């Protein structure tokens, strides 16, 4: 009998797959700053999350810190998609490896032009 070991990175490594089968919500924000253009927000309710609730309505103005929605029932992830050329640089640089420390919440990860 083969015993499978728990791999600590397994949950992170499976995110690419879970985004294809989990609950998702997508919104596009038209930024007032023309250098940012439009920002796509893809929200993924992972694991036990039953739904993604979007509260921002089409045409509604939102500002930094406003709640635009929420995940019901727990853990989740999201991805922000920018137009080409908007991101000037990323703080983390290749090469990446499994030994690198996790990126903490509210950490600066990229700079926009």
The answer to whether 113 and 88 have CB atoms below 8 angstroms apart is yes
The answer to whether 38 and 31 have CB atoms below 8 angstroms apart is yes
Nearest-angstrom CA–CA distance, 50 and 71: 8
Q: Mean pLDDT for the chain?
A: 81
- Predicted TM-score (pTM) of the model is 0.71
Report pLDDT digits (tens) over 58-105.
999 999 889 999 888 766 788 899 999 999 998 877 777 777 777 888
pLDDT for the residue numbered 67: 92
Pairing of strands 87-90, 38-45: unpaired
Nearest-angstrom CA–CA distance, 34 and 60: 18
């Amino acid at each position: 009998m083969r015993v499978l070991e728990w791999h600590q990175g397994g949950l992170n490594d499976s995110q690419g797959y879970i985004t294809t089968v989990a609950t998702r919500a997508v919104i596009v924000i038209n930024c007032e700053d023309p250098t940012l253009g439009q920002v796509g927000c893809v929200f993924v309710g992972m694991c036990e999350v039953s739904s993604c609730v979007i509260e921002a309505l089409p045409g509604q103005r939102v500002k930094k810190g406003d709640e635009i929605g929420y995940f019901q029932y727990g853990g989740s992830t999201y991805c922000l998609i920018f137009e080409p050329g908007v991101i000037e640089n990323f703080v983390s640089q290749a090469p990446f490896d499994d030994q690198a420390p996790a990126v903490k919440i509210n950490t600066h990860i990229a700079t926009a032009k």
